[in-house]
Amino acid sequence: MDQFLFYLFGFLALAGGLLLVGFRNPVSSALSMVVSFIGLAGLFIGLNAYFVGIVQILVYAGAIMVLFIFIIMLLDLNNEKPFQFRSATILGGLAIPILFAIQILGVIQKGPTEHSEKFPPITEETLQQAADGFALKSDGELLPASEQTAIYRSLAHQDSPKLPDTNLIGETIFKHYNMPLQIMGVLLLVATVGVVVLSKRSSKNANTQN
Amino acid sequence: MHTIAWLILGLPLLSATCIHLGFKRNQGLSTIIATSSALITLILSLVLLGNGKDTSTAFTWVGAMGEHFKGIEIGLRIDQLSRGMLIVVTGVGFLVHLFSLTYMKDDRAKARYFCGLSLFMFSMTGIVLASNFIMMFIFWELVGLSSYLLIGHWYQKPSAADASKKAFLTNRIGDFGFMIGILMLWGITGTVTFSELELWSATPAPFNATFLGIALLCVFAGAVGKSAQAPLHVWLPDAMEGPTPVSALIHAATMVAAGVYMLARFFTSVDLEIIAFAPQTIAWIGGVTSLLAALMATQQDDIKKILAYSTLSQLGYMVMAVGLLNAQAGVFHLFTHAWFKALLFLGSGAVIYACHHEQNIWKMGGLRKKMPLTFLTFTIGTLALMGFPLTAGFFSKEQILEAALHQSTPLFVIATIVATLTTFYMGRLLLVAFLGENRSENSHHAKEVGALMLIPLVTLSVLAIISGYPFVASALSPLYEQVGFHFGPAFWASLTALVVGGGFAFTFYRNAETDPLKDKKIALVFRNKFYVDELYAQIVRFGQDCVAAIVHFIDELLIGGLIVGGCSRAAEGIGKLFGRLQSGNLHGYATLFGLGVILLIYITVFVP
Amino acid sequence: MASLNDYLLVSGLLFAIGLAGVIIRSNIIVIFMCLELMLAAASLTLVAFSRFNVSSNGLPDYDGQVFVFFIITVAAAEVAVGLAIIVALYRARQTINVEDLTSMRG
């Protein structure tokens, strides 16, 4: 079943990409890109990366693609004419990715043999084991029940323990990558300011389309 | 003794410097300074003559460096050769100064003239007193410079400026050979000082005789240039553009004799037995020159040109004598020739002055009656030149003919023919210029010249007669070997030459109004100096065209087109090439991007 | 479950498709979308590696997923600014066809 799902979502991602490159209508391209992202999200979830998968849908497909479609609609674009493509461009555009794909194949084959093994699944014992790790104090004693973290509880004490990867990601970010997180905040601020500045109209050409 | 010699050398230099730096505007003072310096040097030379010892003195100019270079010195060598030559130089020099007082009376640049004369006296004295070849070469060049300055005294005339340039350039060609010869000699013998050369030739180290012969020929090249032998004789007739006293001093008596003097120095320093083939060449060049010059002289119309060619011819005699290994005869002839040639030139100067600067002999005539004393002195000079018995020229010519007779019969024949021709053209000159009737207004109004001009003429004519006799010659002549006088073939040959030549001259030119021979084809060749000047002009032009073509090619095509143009075109091409990368086309940029990525992956991953 | 190599292959192909789109298409907005596709392919690689690197307590190593989180954030900011630039460009040149925008030629 897992294998089938992998193939399905993989095919979805690749097909979406191909359609994105092939469609002349930019709105069609944008929508096929959404399909591609859905496939990608499926692949993420298959990799037990639940948080990243959902964020992918929310932010990428939800915010970014909507923004794209906004702008396409704003600019009121026409279709690209079919014979506008120059043969040189198409030739280069086909040759280079094919070469690149061949090189990727080569790189993958050169990789170590462990990479062709399947992922070890996450079972209950794994979770139990991990839970013990979270319930220990620094000196090796067990924590009392009132101080047990949510991670521990979700790892250990449910009927069907599941992987609390949001919590784990949160823990990784806030414990180890706090500084980059703050910088991300500043980056978003800068981007917002930049967008506002770039969109400002100079007072001379006030009567263009809105 | 040494002080006297240094004074003789230094006094004219002092006079030239003073005139040049200070007194250019004060013409009278410059004249007095120059003439008195000439007089004092003459007196000092006579004093030097009295002390009969050979001596030399020197100071080091360039010190010795390393074991092979012994240094160059500046020194004076006083022996019989230099003493006699000093008498000639200072004597003729003083008389010419005296003559110039009147001749250049109306000239506007008298100070420059006398400055040049003093400079010349300095340089010539330097050559005479030089103790080594390098010093002689320095003064050799200085003499060339003085000649240039004096020939071009009236430089506003284009012909005079050209003539002085021609003289200098032709001399320079000879000097180039001279320098090579000196260097070769230095290499072979290890020294350039004359006294050391004598020592070397007494016990020579093993050397290559051919090289020594070639060195001698190269040194002789200097004499060819300075003494105007063929093929470098072309400058002497043109040098007559200078004032006549200059011609008398430089181009008759002294500078042109410097070549012979140098050869005499060389031949008295180096033992002649060890030299191979060079003297033969020298003798033949001298003989050929004298023949050619004599032929050219028979058809000239300018009085100074006739005398110039006559000088060439007599110089050929001297060089021939030196080449026949009889340097004494050559130098003796130089000694006597100096007196009578200077006399002839000064006489012609008097004639020119009296005829208001008319130089064509066909426009003179009948001057015997107008200028009797000049005529008398001129005749004495002519007789001496012809080799009339009992004059000085007779004795010296006799010695040369004897030498030719004993060593080389063809040269003897040539010498006799030249003697005949000498008599012929000098007779022509005398008959046309002095005898006969006045042929022009100028000659009609000629009158005798002043005393200041006559004194040198008279003095020189006396010397022209007596300087051949042993009692004078052994005392004054630079080199003299008293040979017993005998009525040998040489005597009869010279007598025959005299009679035959004189007879022909008398026949053709007595009472002639124009030259009867001038329309013959061969006369035209003589008149045009065998077309040598034209040949040289063609050669020079051809050479210049070749060099210009080569330089043009290098400049335009190689440097301009290839290097400069090539650099600019290369830069432009490369710039255009890289300019095409910036097409403004996003697709192009993206393609290059992708190619770069592929290349990067290839290099980092797949190349081991 | 697939192996790591399979995920890497999918990611690589997706990246190549995005590259093809950048080179071939002449609509700037579509080129931008292909750029985003390339970013997404890279994030797939990161997640695959993060799942594959199992740490000592059996759980995956979450650094890769944190990185993807940041990538998504940056992509969002970049898209915003880029689209603002495109809008400004459209206002100035009235075209978004790349082949008409060649004033940087030479």
Do C70 and A208 lie within an 8 Å CB cutoff?
no
Please, are residues A51 and A81 in contact by the beta-carbon 8 Å criterion? Answer: no
3-state DSSP percent of chain C in helix, strand and coil, to 5 = 75, 5, 20
The DSSP result for B385-401, as a single string, is: HHT-TTSHHHHHHHHHH
> What are B480-536's pLDDT values in tens digits?
766 666 677 778 888 888 888 888 888 877 777 777 776 677 777 777 777 888 888
**Residue B602 sits at the chain A interface (C-beta within 8 Å):** yes
Which B residues, 138 through 167, put their C-beta within 8 Å of a C-beta on chain C?
none
Asked whether the beta carbons of residue A96 and residue B591 sit closer than 8 angstroms, the reply is yes
DSSP helix/strand/coil, B78: strand
**Cβ(B95)–Cβ(B342) under 8 Å?**
yes
Q: Per-domain residue ranges for chain C? A: 4-100
pLDDT category at A89 given cuts 50, 70, 90 is: confident
Which of B585, B591, B600, B605 best tests the C interface by mutation, with the highest count of C CBs <10 A? B585
Query: What stretches of A76-177 show up as alpha helix (H) in DSSP?
Result: 87-110, 124-134, 150-156, 165-176
Q: Is B491 exposed, middle or buried (0-12, 13-18, 19+ CB in 10 A)?
A: middle
Is A106 near chain B, with CB under 8 Å? yes
* Contact status of A185 with chain B (Cβ, < 8 Å): no
Of C33, C54, C80, the CB nearest to A20: C33
Count other Cβ atoms within 10 Å, centred on residue A133.
14
Instruction: Give the Cα separation of A65 and A68 in Å (integer).
Output: 5
Q: Give A103→chain B minimum CA distance, Å.
A: 7
Residue B544: pLDDT band (50, 70, 90) is: very high
Q: Does C29 touch chain A if contact means CB atoms closer than 8 Å? A: yes
Most confidently modeled range among B368-372, B527-531, B538-542: B538-542
pLDDT on residue A16 = 96
CA separation (Å) from B1 to B121, B127, B476?
A: 20, 18, 18
Nearest beta carbon to residue A107 from set B594, B597, B605: B605
Least confident of A53-62, A170-179, B481-490, C68-77: B481-490
CB contacts of C76 in chain A (<8 Å) are 59, 63-64, 188
Residues of C in contact with B583 (CB under 8 A): 102, 105
Instruction: Kindly identify which residue of chain C lies nearest to residue B576, measuring between CA atoms.
Output: C106
Find which of B585, B601, B603 to mutate to test the A interface (most A CBs within 10 Å of its CB). Answer: B601
User: Do the Cβ atoms of B605 and A100 come within 8 Å?
Assistant: no
| Mean pLDDT within C43-63 | 86
Tell me: the pLDDT tens digits for B446-473?
A: 777 777 788 888 888 888 888 877 777 7
Neighboring chains of C (3 or more beta-carbon pairs < 8 A): A, B
- Encode pLDDT of A146-201 as tens digits: 655 666 666 666 556 677 788 889 888 998 999 999 999 999 999 999 999 988 87
Query: In whole angstroms, how far apart are CA B261 and each of B81, B140, B475?
Result: 8, 12, 18
Of C31, C14, C25, A96, residue with least CA distance to B600: A96
Which C residues, 44 through 73, put their C-beta within 8 Å of a C-beta on chain B? none
Say whether residue B566 is in contact with chain C using an 8 A CB cutoff.
no
> How near does any CA of chain B get to the CA of C58, in Å?
32
Residue B190 Cα distances to A30, B205, B272, C58, C59, angstroms: 102, 10, 18, 103, 103
Query: Could you tell me if B310 and B387 are in contact, meaning their C-beta atoms sit under 8 angstroms apart?
Result: no
* B195/B199 Cα distance (integer angstroms): 7
Task: Classify B574 as helix, strand or coil.
Answer: helix
Weakest-pLDDT range from A8-12, A26-30, A148-152, C92-96: A148-152
Nearest Cα neighbor of B38 from B2, B13, B1 is B13
Amino acid at B490: A
Topology given in CATH for the domain delimited by C4-100: Helix Hairpins (1.10.287)
Smallest CA–CA distance, residue B581 to chain C, in Å, is: 8
What is the average pLDDT score of chain A? 83
Residue of chain C minimizing CA distance to A11: C10
Among C20, C27, C37, beta carbon nearest to A94: C20
CB-based contact C41:C12 (threshold 8 Å): yes
Tokens 């028979």 identify what position? B298
Judged by a CB distance cut-off of 8 A, whether residue A80 touches chain C is yes
pLDDT at B437: 73
Beta strands of B192-294 (E only): which ranges? none
Closest to C65 (Cα-Cα) out of A61, B608, A81, A177: A177
Q: B480: exposed, middle or buried (C-beta count within 10 Å: 0-12, 13-18, 19+)? A: buried
Q: Do C102 and B583 touch (CB under 8 A)?
A: yes
For A162, residues 6+ apart whose C-beta sits below 8 A from its C-beta are A127, A154
> Could you give the C-alpha distances from B51 to B38, B41, B79, B92, B95, in angstroms and in order?
21, 16, 10, 21, 24
CA distance B515 to C40: 120
**Neighbouring chains of B at 3+ CB pairs within 8 Å?**
A, C
What is residue B76's DSSP assignment?
E
**Residue B387: closest CA among B398, B377, B379, B378:** B398
Amino acid identity for residue B592 in this structure? L
